[in-house]
Amino acid sequence: MPAQPLDGITVVALEQAVAAPFATRQLADLGARVIKVERPGRGDFAREYDREVKGMSAYFVWINRGKESVVLDVKDDADRALLDTLLARADVFVHNLAPGAVDRLGLSADTLRAGHPRLINCAITGYGDRGPYRDKKAYDLLVQCEAGLLSITGSPEEPARPGISIADIAGGMYAYTGILTALYERERTGAGTDLSVSLLDALGEWMGHPYFAQAYGGSGVVRSGARHPSISPYGAYACGDGAQVFLSVQNDREWIALCERVVGRPELVRDARFADNPLRRTHDEELTAELERSFAGHTADGLVALLDAAGIANARLRDVAGLADHPQLAARERWGEFGSPVGPLRGLLPPVEVAGRQAALRPVPALGEHTEAVRAEFS
C-alpha cells in the first residue's frame, strides 16, 4: 500500500470528550501516529457515554479509531517524564485541557515553544484562554446556546438541539485544518507554531449567515422547522400517498421548471405573489398549499421522478438506518471494516479520498492497550 500523507508524523494527544479526539482521528486516518494519553482508571470519559457498540461507547468508537492508548498519571514523576519524552519526539501536541490546567502542568505554550521549537502545539478550549467565560465549562449544547444556534434551530414554537455534537465537530475541524496548515508551514520554515481554537469561535463562524442577516437585515433568521428561513420553496411537501418529499428551488430558472414541468401550472410563474424568491418566502404558506394541491396526485416515488427529470433538487427523508443502507454509499464502496476490543466494526471511510491510496482504518484501542509498548519504546 502506498504511504499515507501523514506517515512519519507523531501526534501526542492529551484529550477527552469529542472536539480534540475528533481532530486527531482525522490525522490518524491520514496516517499520523496518534498517541492518546488517558487518565488512570477509566480513561477518556467518552468511553462511558453509552454502551451501544457491543458494550463500547458509540461516541468513543466514532472518534478514536487508529490511535494508541497510553495510560499516564501526569502528576506522577515517572509518568510525567515519559510524557516529556513523548513531547520531545512529537510533531504535534493536541490538548483540550481547561485554561490554567496547562500552566499548572508546566505545558504552557511558552514553555513548550522554548523547549520544542519544531512542535506544533494546538489547544482546544470552550471559550478561549481569556475573557469572562475563560473558566466556564463548555459542553456542546451549552456552546450552541451561547453561539445563538438554538435561537434559529427548531420549530417556531420552541428551539431544538441539532442531533449531533455540532460545536465539538466545528472546533475539531478547525483544529484539524489548522494543524495541517502548521505542518505545511513547518516544511518551509522548520519552525513549529502555537494554535488555539475555541468552540465558541468555531461555531460562531458557522453562524455567519444568521449574523449578517441580523446585523444588516434587521429581522434576522427565525426558527422554521424543516423549512428554509430565507428560500422558498425549500422544505418538505406532502404527496398523495402520505409520504413527504423535500425539494429546493434556488433560482428563477428552477422555479419556472417546477411550475411548468412538475406542477403543470405555468400561470404560477406569473402570479404576483410568487414573482421572486423574497415574495415566495413572504407567501410561503400560500405557495405550499398550491404545490401540495398538485403533489396530491402523485406518489412520493412518482414526484421524485418528475423532479429529477426537471432538474429540481430533491430528497427523501431517511433515518440513520437509511444512511447505513444508502445506495450511493454502497455503489461507491464507502464502507470499510476496522478492529476494536469487541471485534470488527463497520464504518464509513474518511471523507477525503486520496488518489492512489487506500484508507488506513486502524483499530479502536482498549484503555491502556499500548502503555507498556510505548514505555519500552520511549524509555
**Buried-exposed string 168-199: b where 16+ CB fall within 10 A, e elsewhere:** bbbbbbbbbebbbebbeebeeeeebbbbbbbb
Q: Which residue has the cell 422554521?
A: 224
Pairing of strands 10-14, 33-38: parallel
Any idea what DSSP says for residue 61? H
244: β partners:
238
Q: Which residue has the cell 496548515?
A: 181
User: What backbone phi and psi angles, to 5 degrees, belong to 304?
Assistant: -60, -40
Q: How many other CB atoms are there within 10 angstroms of residue 146's CB atom?
A: 19
Helix ranges (H only) for 190-276 are 199-206, 208-217, 252-257
Residue 338 in 3-state DSSP? Answer: strand
Q: Tell the burial category of 328 from Cβ atoms under 10 Å away from its Cβ (0-12, 13-18, 19+).
A: exposed
Cell reading at 215: 446585523
Q: What is the Cα–Cα distance from 193 to 117, expressed in whole angstroms?
A: 8
Q: Active site residue: 228, 283, 298, 326, which one?
A: 228
User: Is residue 228 annotated as part of the catalytic site, yes or no?
Assistant: yes
Any idea what DSSP says for residue 3? P
Cell reading at 74: 501526569
Q: What are the catalytic residues?
A: 228
